[in-house]
């Protein structure tokens, strides 16, 4: 649990003056609905066979206000930021044990936005997000870390 809290604080601290964040007038148009496709897991720790993980979603809806990006996955809210380079990182945390500090699950959606065209019906590709779906689960002395590359196609 402490690890997840520290990661969350580091990710969310300094939102107003963090170098590299996009500006209100120069943010990539990452907001929208995405159909997600995942590649096989590239990293997985041994305890993953015994700990439940937050499932990779079939769809993601990103909302953006300035450089802040939010979503909700599996009922868990996530928050992060969009860089001027169109890179983003969102983090969501859930206590899986009712708050007793013995179990926690986190997910991170990290990647970048690739602008497409507003006319996908003309055979041109729509916007996409590309990156990694990263999960962490812990309970007592067991922990699971896993990563899966993803591509999300804007709907």
How much is the pTM? Answer: 0.79
How many residues are there in the chain? 155
Residue found under tokens 């496709």: 37
**Side-chain half-sphere of 139: how many Cα atoms within 13 Å?**
15
d(CA 80, CA 112): 13
What's the pLDDT score for residue 95? 80
| Residues 138 and 104 sit within 8 Å (Cβ to Cβ) | yes
Predicted confidence (pLDDT) per residue in 60-92, tens digit: 999 999 999 999 999 999 999 999 999 999 999
| Residues 30 and 113 sit within 8 Å (Cβ to Cβ) | yes
Predicted confidence (pLDDT) per residue in 4-57, tens digit: 433 443 344 333 445 589 886 788 999 999 999 999 999 999 999 888 888 999
d(CA 136, CA 67): 25
Predicted confidence (pLDDT) per residue in 85-135, tens digit: 999 999 999 886 555 555 789 999 999 999 876 555 666 677 999 999 999
Question: Does residue 114 sit in helix, strand or coil?
Answer: strand
Kindly list the structural domains of the chain, giving each domain's residue range(s) and its CATH number in brackets, ordered by start: 2-11+27-154 (2.40.128)
d(CA 93, CA 91): 7
C-alpha 70: how far from chain center = 9
d(CA 106, CA 136): 5
In the chain, what is the straight-line distance between the N-terminal and C-terminal CA atoms, in Å?
Answer: 35
| Residues 109 and 116 sit within 8 Å (Cβ to Cβ) | no
């Amino acid at each position: 649990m402490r690890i997840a809290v520290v990661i969350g604080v580091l990710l969310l601290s300094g939102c107003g003056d963090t170098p590299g964040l996009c500006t209100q007038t120069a943010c990539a148009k990452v907001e929208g609905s995405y159909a997600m496709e995942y590649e096989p897991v590239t990293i997985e720790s041994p305890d993953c066979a015994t700990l439940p993980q937050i499932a990779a979603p079939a769809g993601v809806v990103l909302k953006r206000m300035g450089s802040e990006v939010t979503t909700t996955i599996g009922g868990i809210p996530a928050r992060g930021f969009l860089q001027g380079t169109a890179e983003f990182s969102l983090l969501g945390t859930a206590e899986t044990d009712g708050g007793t500090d013995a179990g926690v699950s986190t997910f991170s959606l990290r990647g970048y936005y690739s602008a497409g065209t507003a006319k996908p019906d003309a055979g041109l590709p729509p916007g996409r997000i590309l990156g990694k779906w990263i999960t962490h689960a812990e309970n007592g002395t067991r922990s699971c870390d896993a990563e899966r590359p993803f591509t999300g196609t804007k709907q």
